[in-house]
Structure 1
């Protein structure tokens, strides 16, 4: 049986990547959200919590039995080695679950791995996907979108942007990109439809839109 084409979807915070993922799901793609998997692993009863508590201390677990995200975020932003330790716990578990979900996908439809830090992960993700789609936008657009939806102060948003890959690095890793600056939703959908019709997602011609 032919394997479905695997697409890595990525973009900086506030780029609109999650909107693109939803649109691709509406077009029949199997979207595997690595952020959602990471959240599930760190909710009460999640598989990652025992090792997180052992490595970082019980104070990293909140009163509901889940990861204290605000406390962990503050720690990893300030200590790069803490970020590496957390990734060493989460990444193998995320990898197992993403592959489990991919194996259950219909081979007639593309599998889209929604990976915010795909470029930052280097070869680890690049070798697992056939093509990379980057959702791109200006840093000013990122800043405005994130502040509008989260209420974070400008400095906090800027700190996140600076810790992610640059626009140039993401675009260099892309097999295709969608520039989501000032696009209305129907215009963004049109960009994806064009890629879909051109065969970027590996959908047989008879099954295209």
Structure 2
């Protein structure tokens, strides 16, 4: 099963805040798999001189742009948390640009399959049509809260507010084709990732054969 210039299988990987998505994607990277991270793309689009900055300034005004020319994240976070219309406007700017960049990165990806890391995959609704399988990184909600409080120095109620804005654990699990349990130790996660990698290689191989038959 040699690598193909264009991946024949697309996996969508998601999980709630604090579930350990980065831990999992780092392990897939060790297998040589290309990870397309929609958060990283969004960050680049809203960085100084980012492609989305002119439209953000035009839509929301100068207050939306920080002194360094990037999107004012704290200001925007506060706005979209309280104004659903503003949230939609921001999504209308970012989502087409993110999709375009995803397609460009997929076209140049040199691994048998590609993983799209999408924090809000279940919430966005349209990813189900763009990937062949959905993998969910899962842990208990208490574990999520404890990890984010420690990592981001946030209060419990702040973490709970973020979680309320996301899909529930049950909704993510209902959407999952594959579940990676990240409740305990890293070695257990690695064992699961290794098994999924072999499974995805086989599915990618079968997809390539089907495409050429």
TM-score, length-scaled by structure 2: 0.90
Q: Distance in 2 between matches of 1:128 and 1:14?
A: 25
2:93 maps to 1:89: yes
3-state DSSP of counterpart to 1:198: helix
Q: Distance in 1 between matches of 2:202 and 2:54?
A: 38
1:24-173 correspondence to structure 2 within 5 Å: 24-106=28-110, 108-122=111-125, 124-173=126-175
Please report how far the alpha carbon of residue 197 of structure 1 lies from its aligned counterpart in structure 2 after TM superposition. 2.7
Please report how far the alpha carbon of residue 3 of structure 1 lies from its aligned counterpart in structure 2 after TM superposition. 4.2
More moved, 1-10 vs 194-203: 194-203
> Do the aligned partners of 1:133 and 1:176 also contact (CA within 8 Å) in 2?
yes
3-state DSSP of counterpart to 1:120: helix
What CA deviation, in whole Å up to 9, does each residue of 1:33-82 have, x standing for no partner?
Answer: 10000000000000101111111111110110101101111111111111
- Identify unmatched segments of 5+ residues in structure 2: 207-213
> Do the aligned partners of 2:7 and 2:109 also contact (CA within 8 Å) in 1?
no
Q: Distance in 1 between matches of 2:202 and 2:99?
A: 22
Q: Counterpart of 1:185?
A: 186
3-state DSSP of counterpart to 2:63: helix
- Identify unmatched segments of 5+ residues in structure 1: none
Please report how far the alpha carbon of residue 201 of structure 1 lies from its aligned counterpart in structure 2 after TM superposition. 6.7
2:203 maps to 1:202: yes
Cα gap change, 1:195 to 1:131, in 2 (>3 Å): same
Q: Distance in 2 between matches of 1:96 and 1:165?
A: 25
Please report how far the alpha carbon of residue 24 of structure 1 lies from its aligned counterpart in structure 2 after TM superposition. 0.6
Equivalent residues, number: 202
Cα gap change, 1:52 to 1:201, in 2 (>3 Å): farther
RMSD: 1.6
What CA deviation, in whole Å up to 9, does each residue of 1:102-126 have, x standing for no partner?
Answer: 01112x521000000000011x111
3-state DSSP of counterpart to 1:43: coil
Which is richer in helix? 2
